[in-house]
Structure formats: structure tokens, C-alpha cells
Copies of this chain bind each other. A is one copy, B any other.
Amino acid sequence: MSTAVEKSGLGAGDHIRMNYLDALVEAQVEEMERDERVIMMGEDIAIYGGGKLVERFGPDRIWSMPISESSFTGVGIGAAINGLRPIVDLNIASFMYLAADQIINQASKLRYMTGGQISVPIVFRCCMYYGASLAAQHSDRPYPMFMNIPGLKIVCPASPTDIKGLMKAAIRDDDPVLVFEDTKLWPLKADIPTDPDFLIPLGSALVKRQGTDVTLVAIAGAMRPALDAAQALSKEGISVEVIDPRTLKPLDTATIIESVAKTGRLVLVENAHRMCSVTGEIAAIVAEEGFEYLKRPIQRLTASDVHVPFSPALEGQMFPRKATIVAAIKKLI
């Protein structure tokens, strides 16, 4: 198996068109190529997820796991503290709770508890598979829960370029990193850099669109309706600055506050539940550190505080849409 970049014959400095999911896989392949300590673990991964990676890297680097999330997460952590750099694919984010103890009590704490003797270079990958009528036990967006845990880093990118650059940075990082993919974004295409050393440093937000009237921060799958809303509003003469934090922990609050200093208005959008969400955290930070800039109340748009229902007639209702974002912004103008 050769990757899209290899097939293209392109070199460093070039770009290639690729969707979000392929960009993620490409990042993994490049890093596995670069560093033989990188291995992958996950259920059915020799067949799914890993693509045809077994052919390329051999069975010693692509491990199909029994359905034992708690322990295979721990096995990954054990391998990480003993010389490897595993990517543990937890598949659907709703299964992360099974691995929560190992992620929190072991991965996030071992370095600190051992006074730095042990380092845990591991990536936990999972996808947020909502909007597909899979109902409550398969549709969670649980990244806010892990924000409260010191020792973890959390990445939640919204574009093919970002997922490639951030996944590569996550794999090279010496701390545990949780990478949340939003499956709504899998088909999204973009021109991504082919440079094998293209990295996006963890903790830097991206201004996706410049604007002067309102700052709009959107996370993961909420980015598309946010950009659509900004586009629509620009036709009405409202100039929206759109920011993607990309990394949630550490969070690049400076970029957000700087924008609010300019616009004086802040709207936050995400598809996770409302209470103790990331948009709540950003609102709190701005209400503390950027209060003087605020001309109007901060507005948050999130999923309703309801589990994801099976019926498409209901599920469609629960996430912020372009229209709700437009309305929220107009309220502030």
C-alpha cells in the first residue's frame, strides 16, 4: 500500500487534495514511517481504521484488539511507558468511558506521580459519530469531560489540514493526547501540505475568517454552519471573525481575547452538551480576562441537554444550525 502522497509523487512544499479522514490516516502513516516506535491498536483495526496498514508495517505494528477497552487502553499506556509510542483507537467516542479510568488515573497522572520518571507518549483517537441515527449509546461528544483533567492534551480539529498537522504533532508529543474526530467532517476536502514535517503546534487557534463586528468561535463539526452563517451575514454587511481553537487543551485564549478586543461581541458554538462545555469555559475566560472589551452578553449555542435520539426527526433538532447561529449573532448587533 502506498499513500496518496506517495502516489502523487509530490515532494515537500507541495499540496494535495484530500478529505479529513484520509488526511488523518496519512498523518498516521507518515509518523509510522518516520518512527518505528509508533504502533496502532484498536478493534478490527487490521481491517478498518488502519486501512491496509498491516501490509505496509507488518502485524507487529498494527494490533487488532479484543473488545476490552479498559485494558487495551492500559496495555497501550504500558507500551508507552516502556519505549513505544502507541496510537490507541477507541473507535466511537461513546466507548471512551470504558477507558476513562486508565486514561485519567494512569495516563494523565503517571508522569506527575512519579516526579517525571515516567513519560506517557500516547495518542487516544476516537470519533464522534453523531447525526447518523445511531442513538444515545453511540453518539457522544465527550471532549468537555476530559478538559477538567490535568496532564491530558486535547485536540479537536475541523479541517483536513488541521487534523493532519495536529495528529502528527500529537504523535510526536511526549504527553498523552486525545484526538477527537468529528465524523461529520470526514468527507470534507482540502489541499493539505505534503511535507512530512508539516506540524501544527498543539495550543494554537486559527482565525478562519477575519471580521470586525462579532467574534464567532466554533468547534469541530460546528465550524461548517458557523462559516456558512458568517458568509450569509457578510452579505448583510455584518462582519464576523471566525476562530477555530483546534486544540482545546491547552487552549489558545490569547487569540480569542484579541479578537474580542476588536469586535466586543462573542458567540460560541459547539455540538457537545451545554453544561461545563468548552464554550462555557471560553465564555468564563473572556468574562474574566476580556470583560472590559465586551459590549454585549456572550452567546452560547450548544446541543440541547438531551441524549442523542434515534429518530432523525428529533436528532436534526438538537444541534446548532446556520439559522440559529445567524439569529444569535443578529441579537447582538
CA distance A103 to B101 in the complex (A): 13
A206 to chain B, nearest CB (A): 20
CA distance A283 to B98 in the complex (A): 31
CB-contacts of A225-250 with B (<8 A) = 249
A297 at the interface (CB under 8 A from B): yes
The answer to whether A104 and B97 touch across the interface, beta carbons within 8 angstroms, is yes
Q: Beyond A100-B100, A281-B280, is A113–B137 a contact (Cβ under 8 Å)? A: yes
Of the A-B pairs whose beta carbons lie under 8 Å apart in the complex, a sample of 11, sorted by A's number, is A70-B70, A97-B104, A148-B277, A149-B273, A150-B305, A249-B275, A280-B281, A283-B284, A283-B288, A288-B298, A288-B299
Among the listed B109, B283, B288, which residue makes an inter-chain contact with A307, where contact means beta carbons less than 8 Å apart?
Answer: B109
Among the listed B97, B276, B298, which residue makes an inter-chain contact with A144, where contact means beta carbons less than 8 Å apart?
Answer: B276
Interface, chain A (partner B; CB < 8 A) = 70, 94, 97-98, 100-101, 103-105, 108-109, 112-113, 135-137, 140, 142, 144-151, 249, 251, 272-273, 275-281, 283-284, 286-289, 291-292, 294, 296-300, 305-307, 309-310
The answer to whether A275 and B113 touch across the interface, beta carbons within 8 angstroms, is no
CA distance A18 to B224 in the complex (A): 56
